[in-house]
Chains A and B, each alone.
Chain A
Amino acid sequence: MKRRSFLKALLAFLGATSVASFVYPLSRYYLAPPTSTENSRTLIIAKRDIPLGDAREIVFNGVPAVIMNRPGKGLIALSRVCTHLGCLVQYDKENKRLLCPCHAGVYDLEGNIVSGPPPKPLPKLPLRVEGETIVIG
């Protein structure tokens, strides 16, 4: 290798290393530090607070969610965060649907997509009934 080529390659290597050494901390800086959330706690709600056919909005581990008492199908807890672009779905008691007000995504009460642009069903939250209480988590 000629001296000129070697020096060019060396300069390119040193330049790339210098740039990379700034890009890495810069990209890490832009990612905000992780916020500490308690992901293990449970949420307890009285069963009588959600009459048959009604729903109650809750926040579980920082995620907005909804618990619905479906006639003939029992209780279910779903995330309210639309899988399309993150708006919060709303419970439509009359039509037994969950509607996203932003881009008209429609889900059934199981969280499955009925229509609109959402790519995935709504995530289910773990729910169990212990006597007269509902336990989420």
Chain B
Amino acid sequence: MWERVKNWVETRIGLDDLVRSQVTEYRVPKNINIFYTLGFVAAAGYLIQVLSGIMLLIYYVPHPDHAFKSVQLIMHKVPFGWLFRQMHVVGSNLMIAAIGLHMLTVFAMGNYKRPRELTWIGGALLLLVTIAFGFSGYLLPWTQLSYWATTVVTSIPTAVPVVGDFVAGILRGGDQVTGATLSRFFAFHVSILPPLFMILVGIHIFLIKRIGISATPFGLQAEEKRPWTEYHKKSHADGYPYYPRFFQMDMLMVMVYLAVMFALITFTPNLFFPEEATIPANAFKTPVNVRPEWYLLAPYQMLKIIPNKFLGIIIQLALFLVFLLWPFFDTEKEKNIMKRPLLRGLFLFSFILWLILMFWGRS
């Protein structure tokens, strides 16, 4: 029976050929390392978010009078509701960590360089969309923490003269964070961001397939070092087949991702739920310890220490643009960061500065 179904499908869409060309005979570079799996891990993380998000949608009510109660219902009354919510919350943080780590390793291996500038920009935009997912989802439980974090972030555009208030008004659906904000953040979270994310993933994968996977800069062949003046695909004819070798590495890292997720849920269930995340939103009282998630602590601390609202926000915007367009700033041909002390220094300095700001923001 199974064979007949397989043959029926094979005759129509040529599945064998597809599996052969895209999986078993698809070659990856010989010197590929474990860090190349992080993109796949992030995609698996997104799948977990979609599935757990759909489960939460069954009970969640996006209304200021019911949102907090419905989340409490999910956590305390619905069988295993706590599990799906924890998976969604912990997963959102881990996914950002996976994409961040992916970009960090791509940066360290110089794989953003020509001809992969567009792949880098696509990845940076995917990170931005993932943070937008996290931010829009943050308001939905309608807690003190989510309400005031949203108040702060939606006030950021007001630093820009002339159009700032207009943009903030569009984000909030009014002058303050209200039920209108909750409605549009919910719409944004469940119906605008997912297709946007999928489009960007599609472009990202298309570019990787079209250009070919980049080899690591360590032990690079002379051919790789030549400047790219015209399109040609890197096919790695002497490389390993994607399946089973690299696929096993991918799956191993997905297991590590899941192990970290369930370890956090089991041993630190309150890690992403400080006290303010358990109190319903109150528009007339800002809690004393309102702080964003770990990945926004560095920008939060910068806003705190730069004694000028406009400057604080413009500097952050400029830093993001430099990050997004980095392949156009770094035009050196050498990919190996170990042979570039200045870039290595800049990389380490930025990373350490980010860590300092993050821990400072948390203290």
Contact = CB atoms under 8 A, between A and B. Distances in A.
Interface stretch (A69-77, A81-89, A128-136): A81-89
B286 A90 contact: yes
Interface in B154-200: 154-156, 158-159, 166, 169-170, 173-174, 176, 180, 184
A53 interface: no
A126 interface: no
A120 B300 CA distance: 20
B307 interface: yes
Contact of A87 (B173, B286, B308): B286
A86 B152 contact: yes
Interface stretch (B91-99, B247-255, B287-295): B287-295
Contacts of A86: 151-152, 154-155, 158, 176
B284 interface: yes
A85 B152 contact: yes
**Majority secondary structure of chain B interface residues (helix, strand, loop or mixed):** helix
Given A32-B180, A85-B156, A103 B304 contact: yes
Contacts of B174: 32, 35
B312 interface: yes
Given A32-B180, A85-B151, A117 B307 contact: yes
Size band of the B side of the interface?
A: 20 to 34
A102 B148 contact: yes
A32 B173 contact: yes
A89 B284 CA distance: 10
B303 A103 contact: yes
Contacts of A119: 159, 308-310
A84 B309 contact: yes
A24 interface: no
Contact of B290 (A27, A30, A32, A87): A87
A19 interface: no
A64 interface: yes
Interface string A45-88: 00000000000010100101000000000000000000011111
Given A30-B170, A117-B308, A101 B155 contact: no
Given A86-B152, A117-B307, A101 B288 contact: yes
B176 to A, nearest CB: 8
A44 to B, nearest CB: 19
A16 interface: no
B338 interface: no
Interface string B312-334: 10000000000000000000000
A35 B290 CA distance: 28
Interface in A1-58: 27, 30-32, 35, 57
B285 interface: yes
Contacts of B169: 31-32
A111 interface: no
Contacts of B166: 31
Contacts of B289: 101
Listed from nearest, the 8 A-B pairs whose CB atoms lie closest are: A32-B173, A85-B155, A86-B155, A88-B286, A87-B286, A119-B309, A85-B152, A103-B304
Given A27-B170, A64-B283, A90-B286, 15 more contacts: A31-B166, A31-B169, A32-B180, A84-B155, A85-B152, A88-B286, A89-B286, A101-B288, A101-B289, A102-B148, A102-B152, A102-B290, A103-B152, A103-B303, A119-B310
Interface of B: 148, 151-152, 154-156, 158-159, 166, 169-170, 173-174, 176, 180, 184, 283-290, 300, 303-304, 306-310, 312
24 contacts: A27-B170, A30-B184, A32-B173, A35-B174, A64-B284, A84-B303, A84-B309, A85-B151, A85-B155, A85-B158, A85-B303, A86-B176, A87-B148, A87-B290, A88-B286, A89-B286, A90-B286, A101-B290, A102-B286, A102-B290, A103-B303, A117-B307, A117-B312, A119-B309
